[in-house]
Amino acid sequence: MDINQKTAGSGCGNRSLPPVTITCLIRAALDARRFSYAPYSRYCVGAAVLTEDGSVFSGCNIENASYGATICAERTAIFAAVSRGHRRIIALALAAAPEGTEPAATRDYPSPCGICRQVMREFADPKEFPVIMAKSPEDYRIQSLEELLPESFGPSYLQEKTNTATEQ
């Protein structure tokens, strides 16, 4: 399977993930989705992130009776990585479908919410970061974080501001 056929838009800079890595991340996302706690929306999501050293962290969405306390699968996975000391993430896969439905049977590919895109931005290089939106290990699309979150605000803005402030 040609990875480029699966890459939508302008792709992810020069970094292309080996197909085996993509498959591994999608499988981890699908596996994590089994633990989704979604009694209110009944929309079950799983995600997995690859860190710089090759580790994979996964997570699911976890809802709350106080709806605003809900956390998405992508953030669960990213926070699992960061809370183990991994501050650079290389790629993320997500899979989603209503409870009782397989992601492979959904019409649309899953798409990360805006808050999760911003959290990815904190720990990733947007130009190089592939977001793998999967129905199955064989059926997915990839867009870079920059495509999903153009002209984004990130840590360097505050860094520059801090430097300017200390220079004055």
Catalytic positions, written as ranges:
74
Find the shortest distance in angstroms from Cβ 18 to ligand THU: 25
Of 37 and 157, nearer to ligand THU (C-beta) is 37
Of 27 and 75, nearer to ligand THU (C-beta) is 75
Give the binding-site size for ligand THU (rule: CB under 6 A).
Answer: 13
Of 113 and 158, nearer to ligand THU (C-beta) is 113
Where b means 16+ CB within 10 Å and e means fewer, 1-13 reads: eeeeebbeeebbe
Give how far Cα 52 sits from Cα of 7, 12, 18, Å: 21, 16, 15
Half-sphere exposure of 12 (CA within 13 A, CB side): 25
Residues 76-135 touching ligand THU, rule: CB under 6 A, are: 112-113, 116
- Kindly give, in sequence order, each residue whose CB lies less than 8 Å from that of residue 104, ignoring residues fewer than 6 positions away: 135, 136, 139
Q: How far is CA 167 from the centre of its chain?
A: 37
How many beta carbons lie within 10 A of that of residue 75, not counting itself? 22
Query: Stretches 16-24, 36-44, 85-93, 126-134: which one binds ligand THU (CB under 6 A)?
Result: 36-44
Residue 137 touches ligand THU, criterion: CB under 6 A: no
Query: Stretches 11-19, 40-48, 131-139, 147-155: which one binds ligand THU (CB under 6 A)?
Result: 40-48
* CB distance 118 to 132 below 8 Å: no
Binding site for ligand THU (CB under 6 A): 38, 41, 43, 45, 61, 63, 70, 72-74, 112-113, 116
